[in-house]
């Protein structure tokens, strides 16, 4: 399947994407993961993105479109893709529409995962991430078996730089201002599915129903 997953930081886009990849082999494409890997590797891209990311601000549209133009050409996209954290601005959405048209591709749906702000705040402050493989944990609901150590790869499980209270508040403000308008954008295109759900299973069920799976 080919989907855009929209939703605030902490809405569960990544979790839903991971569950969907297991259903039909489509790949999760997270611009956040791509950028974090670039920062960790100290590449040119990483250097350009680092400061904005740390503050919870958006990286420039040009940089993001450069990444996505290349990424969507890769072979693994043939089995479908779940765009997680992209597009995040109207210009990105417009550029994506054009890019997909050029590639002769069509999305199955744009899924807007709508979660109340208090739930989001609680999730983000308790979220922890593996530095090496990106696996997500939660200190309350899903801690690693051994404190601070990833169950999957043994890497260090830490709080992200942008998961301080200040950066979280900024990310949510940025989301409301820059990304929330995309729901209207896709509603007008007739491809929007809004799911109000705090459980990933419910989101998956709604997607299956929409796609007739």
- For binding to ligand ADP (CB under 6 A), which residues are involved? 9, 31-32, 35, 52-53, 56-59, 64, 85-88, 92, 162, 171
Residue 128 contact, options ligand ADP, Zn ion, none, Cβ 5-8 Å cut-off depending on partner type = none
Burial class (CB in 10 A: 0-12, 13-18, 19+), 168: buried
What is the DSSP annotation of 80-105? -EEEES---SHHHHHHHHHHHHHHT-
Partner in contact with 152, chosen from Zn ion, ligand ADP, none, beta carbon below 5 to 8 Å by kind: Zn ion
- Is 117 annotated in the active site? no
Choose the catalytic residue: 36, 123, 128, 171: 171
Q: How far apart are CA 115 and CA 133, in angstroms?
A: 26
Residue 153 touches Zn ion, criterion: CB under 5 A: yes
Question: What does the angle CA 71 – CA 74 – CA 79 come to, to the nearest 5 degrees?
Answer: 110
Residue 193 Cα to chain centre, angstroms = 16
155 binds, among Zn ion, ligand ADP, none (CB under 5 to 8 A by kind): Zn ion
Of the candidate residues 152, 173, 176, 184, the single one contacting Zn ion (CB under 5 A) = 152
Active site residue 128: no
Q: How far apart are CA 57 and CA 46, in angstroms?
A: 14
Residue 208 designated active-site: no
- Measured CA to CA in angstroms, residue 99 lies from 37, 78, 167 at distances of 24, 15, 31
Check if 36 is active-site: no
The residue whose Cβ lies closest to ligand ADP is 32
Residue closest to 9 by CA, chosen among 128, 113, 156: 113
Sole binder of Zn ion in the list 46, 80, 143, 155 (CB under 5 A) = 155
Nearer to ligand ADP, 35 or 206 (CB): 35
Could you say which of ligand ADP, Zn ion, none residue 93 binds, taking C-beta under 5 to 8 angstroms by partner kind? Answer: none
Minimum CB separation of residue 155 from ligand ADP in Å reads 17
From CA 49, how far away is CA 161, in angstroms rounded? 13
Nearer to Zn ion, 83 or 157 (CB): 157
């Amino acid at each position: 399947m080919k989907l855009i997953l929209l939703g605030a930081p902490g809405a569960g886009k990544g979790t839903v994407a991971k569950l969907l990849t297991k259903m039909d082999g489509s790949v999760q494409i997270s611009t956040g993961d791509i950028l974090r890997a670039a920062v960790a590797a100290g590449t040119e891209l990483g250097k350009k993105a680092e400061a904005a990311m740390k503050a919870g601000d958006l990286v420039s549209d040009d940089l993001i479109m450069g990444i996505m133009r290349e990424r969507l050409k890769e072979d693994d996209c043939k089995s479908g893709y779940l765009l997680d954290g992209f597009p995040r601005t109207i210009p990105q959405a417009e550029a994506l529409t054009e890019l997909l048209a050029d590639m002769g591709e069509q999305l199955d749906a744009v899924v807007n995962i709508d979660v109340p702000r208090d739930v989001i705040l609680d999730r983000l402050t308790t979220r922890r991430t593996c530095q090496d493989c990106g696996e997500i944990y939660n200190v309350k609901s899903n801690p690693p078996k051994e404190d601070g150590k990833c169950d999957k790869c043994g890497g260090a499980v830490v709080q992200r730089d942008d998961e301080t209270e200040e950066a979280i508040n900024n990310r949510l403000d940025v989301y409301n201002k820059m990304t929330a308008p995309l729901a209207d954008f896709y509603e007008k295109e007739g491809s929007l599915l809004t799911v109000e759900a705090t459980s990933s299973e419910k989101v998956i069920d709604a997607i299956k129903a929409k796609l007739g799976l």
